Amino acid sequence: MTERPVKQAPSVEMAALVLGTWEAAQRFAPVIDLARREANEALSAAMEPFNSRVAVLIGHGQRLGVFAKDVAPDVLARVVDATAQTFLSVRRSGDASDVAFTALFTLGVPARRARATVHSARTRQGSCDGL
């Protein structure tokens, strides 16, 4: 995957990335669940570009002090993915804002700031197409 430069604050870009992909994830949740059970290796390979992008954002955010530095970016990218999978399996009707907030909170962003960041990303979402 070609590494794209981070265009805005890493926390806002992370929230926008989750907000922008959550609807498709919800739509394909049954297929994703089946693939995880039956073809986990193929699904992992298909998710690698997304997880790589998330790891780049996390690494950038760690260097800027936005995200916690205690765990490597590639590991945290998998944690963010697992968090989204949990929302898909437990709360199929969950809102993208909940998932984005949880991802940011998991990355060490304080709750109040995470909520404000998700709100900011939500209002900018129209200008974040093509992340």
What is the pTM assigned to this prediction? 0.71
**48-85 pLDDT, tens digit each:** 898 899 999 999 999 999 999 999 999 999 899 888 88
The whole-angstrom separation of Cα 97 and Cα 36 is: 24
Contact 46, 93 (CB under 8 A): no
**12-26 pLDDT, tens digit each:** 988 898 888 888 888
Extract the tokens encoding 40: 């986990």
Structure-token match 């979402």, residue found: 125
The amino acid at 46: A
